[in-house]
Amino acid sequence: MGVSTAASQPHLPGARGPLSRAVIELVTSQAPPSTAPVPAGALDDGWDEDHQLALYLCYELHYRGFAGVDAAWEWDPGLLGLRGQLEQAFLRSLRAELGSVPPLADQLRELLVEPVDGDGPSYFLLRGGQRWQVREYLVHRSLYHLKEADPQAWVIPRLHGAAQAALVAIEYDEYGGGRPERVHSRLFAEMMTDFDLEPGYGHYLDAVPAPALAVVNLMSLFALHRAHRGALVGQFAAVEITSSPGSARLAAAFERLGAGPAGTGFYLEHVEADAVHEQLVRHGVIEALLKDEPELEEDIAFGLAASTLAEERLARHLLSCWEQQRSSLLAPLDDAPALLP
């Protein structure tokens, strides 16, 4: 298996309900309607499989698109109208579950305290995770890490001055510092290959469930709306502040399970890089942005809290499945435990 090329496009997945079916039927039709139909009751739960896949399909048109889908669908008014309804329903579900958002300073302070005996996926995999669980973890993460830093790039023209300069410095590292072989998405693809996974962009879309889709969709939702630029900064901060210690645990876990240099390189890169990025995002981006636009503090706090919630939902899904020795994917890999009758 080779690393996918920049021009490769994934194929459309199968539908998971009326919303995703409506999006798929729209983008494969010859004559776009002026409005996209929304089935009654389909927007009640913004977290469910159908809703998250439909939203992901809409957003992916702004990235690489899909094989056989006309690029003009990216800006089709009817499809954008449907996407807007999906976004509002997702935000309603998100805010309902979040409740009161803690102050930004409190959230940042809490993220800086690394628990000695944590219970997230990186701790689980380090303590005694199995190879099939690592492979599943990489499949879940592939929908983001094979386009790592792309969602955050949308916010660059929406920031200015010192905050913009600091964010661009972080993004420059994410894209390999000018070295194509060090681009983080390429390092992730090489890690997938080391674990005998297909590294093609979007290859596992049919297998990835809603909790993992929601993590990526949240980034895209914030990134594609100038009104949510503060929330995108909050999301980025959540990732960068927590990444370094988690990456160290994952690299150690993978090495224990026999990964070669390519199988640990992605996370070893993040141990060092994100230790620097944590300082840059807190002081260079957030502090500078609040100095220029103090009214964005609540939005940054919301983005940070929302990102943390989405990650916690994914973690609960993974651990619940793995503790029962069953696959966390919709389409299990060939080395996953056999399903119990």
- The CA–CA distances, whole Å, from 46 to 17, 197, 299, 341 equal 13, 30, 20, 31
User: Are residues 26 and 115 both part of a single domain?
Assistant: no
User: Are residues 145 and 261 both part of a single domain?
Assistant: yes
Is 200 a member of any domain?
yes
Query: Each residue of 241-261: pLDDT tens digit?
Result: 888 889 999 999 999 999 999
- DSSP classification of residue 29: -
Give the pLDDT confidence score for residue 271 in this predicted structure. Answer: 86
User: CB-side exposure of 295: number of CA atoms within 13 Å?
Assistant: 2
User: Are residues 109 and 216 both part of a single domain?
Assistant: yes
Domain containing 78 equals: 18-98
Is 277 a member of any domain?
yes
| Boundary (domain end) residue, out of 63, 98, 133 | 98
pTM of the model: 0.93
What's the CATH code of the domain at 203?
1.20.910.10
User: Are residues 225 and 311 both part of a single domain?
Assistant: yes
Give the pLDDT confidence score for residue 279 in this predicted structure. Answer: 82
* Cβ-contact 329, 209 below 8 angstroms: yes
Give the pLDDT confidence score for residue 169 in this predicted structure. Answer: 93
Exposure string for 79-94, b = 16+ CB within 10 A, e = fewer: beebbeebbebbbebb
User: Are residues 63 and 209 both part of a single domain?
Assistant: no
270: Cβ contacts below 8 Å, ≥ 6 apart: 184, 243, 244, 247
| Boundary (domain end) residue, out of 98, 129, 156 | 98
* Cβ-contact 143, 60 below 8 angstroms: no
User: Are residues 47 and 62 both part of a single domain?
Assistant: yes
Is 10 a member of any domain?
no
Give the pLDDT confidence score for residue 4 in this predicted structure. Answer: 39
User: Are residues 178 and 293 both part of a single domain?
Assistant: yes
* Cβ-contact 3, 187 below 8 angstroms: no
Listed as ranges, residues in the chain with pLDDT below 70 are 1-7, 31-42, 273-276, 339-341
How many structural domains comprise the chain? 2
Give the pLDDT confidence score for residue 43 in this predicted structure. Answer: 73
Is 328 a member of any domain?
no
User: Are residues 46 and 170 both part of a single domain?
Assistant: no
Is 331 a member of any domain?
no
Give the pLDDT confidence score for residue 189 in this predicted structure. Answer: 97
Is 2 a member of any domain?
no
User: Are residues 49 and 184 both part of a single domain?
Assistant: no
Query: Each residue of 291-315: pLDDT tens digit?
Result: 999 999 999 999 999 999 999 999 9
